[in-house]
């Protein structure tokens, strides 16, 4: 376990980038993946507002993970950019 401020979280967390970038799973599968991680004991989920497929999806993971904030710490990075998309959208 590790302390982040006054909150204790597991030393191993879940990186959530694959839930929102190109090739991501559909919403139900993404939520099932998060549920499986929590059921396995994960207490920290790492994401960023720049993890998205298209430019109009900024904050995709934060919205996806919002329902889990009572079960795990959701850490999000901000201030980093990402080009609109590789597909030009």
| pLDDT per position as a tens digit, 35-61 | 999 999 999 999 987 788 877 888 888
Grouping H, G, I as helix, E, B as strand and the rest as coil, residue 35 is helix
Which residues is 74 bridged to in the sheet?
Answer: 45
Lowest-pLDDT range of 18-22, 36-40, 43-47, 76-80: 76-80
Closest CA to 65 of 14, 23, 5, 1: 14
d(CA 22, CA 54): 9
Distance (Å, rounded) from C-alpha 14 to C-alpha 6?
20
Assigned token pair, 36? 């499986």
Question: Is 70 exceeded by the pLDDT of residue 84?
Answer: no
Cα torsion through 7, 14, 43, 28, rounded to 10 = 130
């Amino acid at each position: 376990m590790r302390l982040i401020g006054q909150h204790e979280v597991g030393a191993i967390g879940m990186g959530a980038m694959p839930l929102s970038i190109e090739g991501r799973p559909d919403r139900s599968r993404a939520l099932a993946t998060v549920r499986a991680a929590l059921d396995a004991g994960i207490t920290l989920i790492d994401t960023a507002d720049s993890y998205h497929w298209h430019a109009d999806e900024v904050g995709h993971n934060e919205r996806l993970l919002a329902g889990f904030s009572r079960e795990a710490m959701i850490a999000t990075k901000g201030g980093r950019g990402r080009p609109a998309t590789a597909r030009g959208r």
